[in-house]
């Protein structure tokens, strides 16, 4: 397995790989790899000849400095996981190689980036779209796999690839969960044990709303209220937002007639978790 630490090294490796006729499957991550990431990597293996996994904690997409500083970075463990899964190359660029002093260009997504995570985390999606564009260019990927856990991110990446004619196939992957339903996340390991237990309320609330929706409730205000009430049963939970939005436009929906995403962001202590579930009429 190759370890590549700059955009130039990554591009050279990718060009050599492509010259032999191989297709490249790409899984972008911020490391602290878990079974969710592993599932994406295995999907990439099915869809391409050579898999590249990037591990880069992208400062540009963090709007809270302490969240960036405390983000887990177990690089040795991550490399072992990639090795075990047969990854061809790990792309772990240094900060300086990604953002030299004269770095001056960003990718600014539009309407899709305004609601939910966009309004809760100003600048987050500019940072995300910019780094994803840079990673796509360096890895020369033919196909890239993204988790549906970051629903808005996936929508923005799809839109960016179309709008900027990037010619990369984007594949979504369903959220991998713990036995109590909590979505796997690198941030889960930062939860205090009592908060980890309490966080199980997130999937419980989403599931309860989905069941009520399936029994015929179409008023999103009632479903949102229900999610709020269930999550608030845990004293340690602090809700950032609960939203129901159209799956394509990501605009809020009141009377649900179309496929929608129910998305939440909840704090436990200083750890912010997101999750979502799709509601199909
Ligand atoms: P991250 O390292 O958190 O930036 O995530 C890297 C990729 O893994 C993103 O496409 C995420 O959506 C995806 N991902 C993170 N957690 C999960 C999960 N529990 N199930 C599936 N995909 C995930």
Return the ligand 1 atom nearest residue 39 CA: 21
Q: Which of 27, 37, 199 has most ligand 1 atoms within 8 Å of its beta carbon, as the pocket-test mutant?
A: 37
Topology of 186-276 in CATH? 3.30.1300
The domain locations on the chain are: 2-173, 186-276
Residue 36 near ligand 1, beta carbon < 6 Å = yes
Cβ-Cβ contacts under 8 Å for 256 (sequence gap 6 or more): 213, 218, 219, 220, 244, 279, 281
**pLDDT for residue 223:** 98
Residue 183 near ligand 1, beta carbon < 6 Å = yes
Catalytic annotation, residues: 37
pLDDT along the chain (281 residues), means of 10: 98 98 98 98 98 98 96 98 98 98 98 98 98 98 98 98 98 98 97 98 98 98 98 98 98 98 98 98 94
Residue 124 near ligand 1, beta carbon < 6 Å = no
**pTM of this prediction?**
0.98
Whole-number Å distance, alpha carbon 152 to ligand 1 midpoint, is 12
Whole-number Å distance, alpha carbon 146 to ligand 1 midpoint, is 7
**pLDDT for residue 270:** 96
Residue 173 near ligand 1, beta carbon < 6 Å = yes
Topology of 2-173 in CATH? Rossmann fold (3.40.50)
Tokens representing residue 211 in the block: 């069941």
**pLDDT for residue 61:** 97
Pairing status of strand 24-29 against strand 50-55: parallel
Residue 276 near ligand 1, beta carbon < 6 Å = no
């Amino acid at each position: 397995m190759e370890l590549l630490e700059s955009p130039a090294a990554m591009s050279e490796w990718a060009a050599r790989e492509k010259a032999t006729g191989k297709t490249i499957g790409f899984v972008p991550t911020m490391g602290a790899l878990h079974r969710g990431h592993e599932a994406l990597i295995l999907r990439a293996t099915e869809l391409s000849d050579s898999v590249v996994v990037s591990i880069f904690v992208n400062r540009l997409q963090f709007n809270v400095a302490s969240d960036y500083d405390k983000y887990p970075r177990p690089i040795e463990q991550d490399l072992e996981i990639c090795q075990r899964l047969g990854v061809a190359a790990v792309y772990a660029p240094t900060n300086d190689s990604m953002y030299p002093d004269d770095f001056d260009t960003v990718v600014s997504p539009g309407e899709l980036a305004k609601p939910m995570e966009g309004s809760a985390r100003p600048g987050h999606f500019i940072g995300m779209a910019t780094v994803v564009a840079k990673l796509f260019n360096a890895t020369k990927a033919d196909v890239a796999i993204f988790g549906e856990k970051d629903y808005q991110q996936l929508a923005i990446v799809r839109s960016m690839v179309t709008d900027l004619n990037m010619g990369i196939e984007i594949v979504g992957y369903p959220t991998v969960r713990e036995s109590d339903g909590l979505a796997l996340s690198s941030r889960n390991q930062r939860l205090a044990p009592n908060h980890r237990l309490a966080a199980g309320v997130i999937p419980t609330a989403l599931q309860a709303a989905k069941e009520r929706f399936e029994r015929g409730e179409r008023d999103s205000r009632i479903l949102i209220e229900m999610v709020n009430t269930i999550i608030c049963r845990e004293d340690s939970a602090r809700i950032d937002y609960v939203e129901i939005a159209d799956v394509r436009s990501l605009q809020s929906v009141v009377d649900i007639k179309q496929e929608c995403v129910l998305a939440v962001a909840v704090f436990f202590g200083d750890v912010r978790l997101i999750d979502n579930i799709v509601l199909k009429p």
